[in-house]
Amino acid sequence: MGERVTVSVPQGAPLRADRVVADAVGLSRSYVQRLIEEGRVTEAGKRIKSKDVFAPGAALELDLPDRPTATIEAEDVPLTVVYEDADVLIVDKPAGLVTHPSPGRTGGTLVNALLGRAPASEYGGVAGADRPGIVHRLDRDTSGLIVVARNDPAQAALMAQLKARRVKKTYLALVYGATVAEVGRIEAPIGRDPRQFSRMAVLPGGRPSVTGYRVRERFPGWTLLEVDLMTGRTHQIRVHLASIGHPVAGDPVYATGAARRGPEGLTRLFLHSWRIEFAAVTGERLIRAEAPLPPELASVLDELRSPKH
């Protein structure tokens, strides 16, 4: 039967209709544009266009169609599980693997691989039928640890810990240049870049975001950081580090020039979810897991440590 959703344009500058709806309901902009073309988004009962601009406070009505069921298929994709108990799995996700399906993408994701390991009934369903077990996500180009819930109570408990900022997530990031401080903290709000929807940016009206970092190793022209993700905004680490002049090596979105190319041998974004710590669902102990750098990143550091550098 679908669902009728009212979306209000947030305070600030006037915004395009497709952007307002995509941000509000968490759908891709291209999918929202398709819904608008089908007449599923209206304002005061009248059809609109994606490029129409609306002032803050305007109300758009979205007729959201039912998502197809049983379209997420199990796929035989190897998974590296670094920890497992009755409530959770901790998976070491490779770079290039998307976390969960989205409109227009139903295959080749971590969820498909999870379903290849066990049926959906063996994962938590709190986050929706298309996100069995998913508690949080990693960007496609980021490797490393991601937690999966094996039942509803575990999924609800872990999502509550994330919301309360009680899950400690630490990343390894190679950044361009030499940071002045050995230890730092970045507090800067993040929102959608008004000039390019696919990017995020530090914006006065963005959501509060906090990132901590400390130097792990220095190289000529580069610094390896341990980064603590204290909030979980989209692209947060990449945006924050770029905002202080130290973009992540190999970042195709937020880095330019030598930073974007990265040091010799780098073929991907140098960002890895290295360590995660959270309370067990029973609350009786802490669960802590680590994932070593994958070979394609470890080899870059080996090269930087070589005598010629």
Whether residue 85 lies in the annotated active site: no
Model pLDDT for residues 239-281, shown as the tens digit of each residue: 999 999 999 999 999 999 999 999 999 999 999 999 999 999 8
Does domain 80-164 match CATH 3.30.230.10? no
Question: Burial code of 51-90, b = ≥16 C-beta within 10 A, e = fewer?
Answer: ebebeeebebebeeeeeeeeebeeeebebeeebeeebbbb
Rg of the Cα trace of the chain?
21
Within a 10 A sphere around the Cβ of 49, how many other Cβ atoms? 12
Q: Which of 139, 152, 228, 251 is catalytic?
A: 139
Which CATH architecture best describes the domain 3-64? Roll (3.10)
26-to-102, 217, 276 alpha-carbon distances in Å? 10, 38, 26
- Asked, colleague to colleague, whether 3-64 and 80-164 share their fold, the answer is no
Task: Map out the domains of the chain as residue ranges.
Answer: 3-64, 80-164, 170-273+297-305
Pairing state between β 46-47 and 210-219: unpaired
Q: How far apart are the first and last CA of the chain?
A: 63
Let me know: does 271 contact 237? Beta carbons within 8 Å. yes
For 123, the 3-state DSSP assignment is coil
Indicate yes or no: pTM above 0.75: yes
Model pLDDT for residues 119-150, shown as the tens digit of each residue: 999 999 877 777 899 999 899 999 999 999 99
Instruction: Please tell me the distance from the alpha carbon of residue 196 to that of residue 210, in angstroms, as a whole number.
Output: 23
Reported CATH class of domain 170-273+297-305: alpha beta
